[in-house]
Every structure is written in structure tokens, then in C-alpha cells.
Amino acid sequence: MSGALIQGSPGARIKQPSQLCRQPAVVLSGPVNLDSLRAFVAVAEEGQFRYAADRLRLSQQAVSKRIAALESSLGVTLFDRVPTGATLTPQGRRFLPHAHAVLIAARHAVESVQREARPLRVDILGSRLLPGVLMLDFHQTHPEIALKTLVLRGLGAAVPALLSGEIDATFAYHPEPLPPGLESMVAYLEPHEIIVGAEHPLANRTSVPVDELRRYTFWVPGIIEGSEWGAFYQELSAEFGLTIDSTGPSFGFEELVGTVAESRSLITFWGERTREAGPWPPGLRRLRVVDPTPVYPWSLIWHSSNRHPDLNTLVEHVKKPPQPTDDLWLPRRLRTIGFRGD
């Protein structure tokens, strides 16, 4: 994260008293404490005081008071109150990365003197998805590392958790550039397969060209608007002219595969390394998609200032040489930036 908040790093020159006296003083009209910074960050990320209050488990009035006290202390307005909630002013946008940095530094300061090192906290999005498989392999390779896996609500929840230091890393596809301070690298290009029932016209095939899939409607229920996987499917369907139906709630993998297995027409996508739950429904078929094969680009994402002693071990474990992409389809952004992320 840009901007140094603490001076006195090794090798820094010590200023003489006469030099220090000439530095401009920073005058605050009240205290800037961690609680007020947490309130500010929560409102900035949630966009509404009531959502920030829910996140902090406070009343909306308490959050408003903390923001008002912070604005008074700084002598600036941090938010514009609008009908839809609260938006950052230019001063608020400049202040946000530094507020994040202070909260992270405070968390690291506390953890540095705790008697026992805390576990490495990693968001895996879902235990049956590829990140869960990768972290199981990491745990088996490094059983000496204390590990805690979490299941958040996607990148929208993981990014604030990374910025605040609540988690150390997450696995996700990020279709847009990440906020300042976050680093990423592509961890795995997961081929997309399809699954169909025994009575489906494609049931006797082992593979199918992606162009041939235009004649079918894919059922992918529960796509969250604005989610990273929603962006992936939107770009995939636009490029190949596929029809994707996301109507209806998602009741989990068992319900999805069970419904597809009994249908003569339904078809859905399936990650190559998604773990199957329980007995595979009779008659269900998995087919490779070729010419090209669509892949979901999972990235490992972490904060550049995170000093957890085991984070680098995870990064090195996940790191692998770039895969050939001649027969793979990648989202447009990944084609332009390569495999090292932002």
C-alpha cells in the first residue's frame, strides 16, 4: 500500500531536533481512534450506514456518531450523504487506503506479541470447489502449519476481509483490477466440463465442441448479479453465443446434479476438479468441452503488507509454471495481462 505511515525504518537517518521543529504540525480537534477508523472503512465498503452497523454489530446511530467525530477530528467531510446511502468525498477516497493501513498495522502489532501464532486464514469460497482441493493438498504437504479455512460470499466479501486483515488469502477470479495493496497470481486454470443426464442427446458423447453447445440452454441457477462468476459466464456466453438460464434459487450441488440427471434437456457446467458429493446419480454423464476448452482462472489473492509467517509458504506452494493456452479459452483480461495478476 502506498504511503509510509511509520518513520524510523532500518537505515533511516535520524533527524536533529532543529530539523524536527521545522516540520509542519498536524493538528486534530479530537482523537482519531481505531473504532472510528473501523466505522469509516465499513461505511466506505458497504455504501450505507445501516449495512456498516450490521457488519460492526452496532446501532446505526453509534456508527454515525463515530463518523461525525472522525470528520470533526480531521476537519474534513469524508462522506456525501445521498438517497442511496453514502459516497466518499475526494478527501475520503484519499483517506481510505491509509485507514486500511492503520488497521492492518494495529492487527499485526497485537499479533506480534501474542504467545501463540494464529492459524493461516484462507477463504476457499466452497469446500467442494477447486480452492478446497488445493488447500487440502497444502495441508497434507505442510501438516505443521496451523490452518483455518473460511467460506465467504465471493470476492465482494473477500476483498474487505483481506484489506482489514481478517483473512490472509483468498482464491477467486477477479475480472477487474484489485484495490491498491492487494497482489494476485493465477493459481489454476480449471477446465469447464458439462454434465447431462442419460436421456440427453449428448449422453453418448465423450466430448463436444463449444460451438455445438449453442443449440442448448445451460441451467446455472443462483448466479449472483455483480459476482465474479457472473462476469465469467456473461463473457463466455457473449463470445460463443451460448444461452445461460440462471433463474431459480440454488439448493446446492446435490439438487443440481440430481435434477440434471433426470432431465432429457437440461445441461450445466461443471468444474473439472469440483468434488462430487456422495454417490454420483445413475446415468449422469460428464463431457469435455473442446475447440477451445473454457477455463475458470482461479487466482490466489493476498495483501502485500501481510506478514503472516506461513503466507509465503502458501504462495510458493500454489505457484506453478504458466500452462499452455493454445486450446483453452480465457476471459479477455487474462489474455492481456498474462498469469502473474496485477
Which tens digit of pLDDT belongs to each residue from 105-124?
787 777 666 655 689 999 99
Phi, psi of 152, deg, nearest 5: -95, -170
Answer for the pair 283, 198: CB distance below 8 angstroms, yes or no: yes
In a domain, 337, yes or no: no
Q: For residue 72, give every residue at least 6 positions away whose Cβ sits within 8 Å of its Cβ, in sequence order, or none.
A: 29, 30
Last residue of a domain, one of 95, 112, 129: 112
Instruction: Give the pLDDT confidence score for residue 160 in this predicted structure.
Output: 87
Asked if 318 and 183 sit in the same domain, the reply is yes
CATH code at 100?
A: 1.10.10.10
Instruction: Give the pLDDT confidence score for residue 249 in this predicted structure.
Output: 65
In a domain, 251, yes or no: yes
- Which of residues 320 and 59 earns the better pLDDT score? 59
Going by C-alpha positions, the residue among 333, 1, 335 that lies closest to residue 174 is: 333
Instruction: Give the pLDDT confidence score for residue 53 in this predicted structure.
Output: 86
User: Which segments of the chain does DSSP mark as H helices, in order?
Assistant: 17-21, 34-46, 49-56, 60-74, 90-112, 130-141, 155-164, 228-240, 253-261, 311-318, 332-337
Question: 72: domain range?
Answer: 29-112
Instruction: Give the pLDDT confidence score for residue 342 in this predicted structure.
Output: 40
The model's pLDDT over 143-196, given as tens digits with 9 standing for 90+, comes to 999 999 988 878 988 998 898 888 999 999 999 889 888 999 999 999 999 999
Asked if 164 and 259 sit in the same domain, the reply is no
Instruction: Give the pLDDT confidence score for residue 337 in this predicted structure.
Output: 58
Last residue of a domain, one of 51, 80, 112: 112
In a domain, 246, yes or no: yes
Instruction: Give the pLDDT confidence score for residue 111 in this predicted structure.
Output: 67
Residue 85 confidence (pLDDT) above 90: no
Instruction: Give the pLDDT confidence score for residue 12 in this predicted structure.
Output: 37
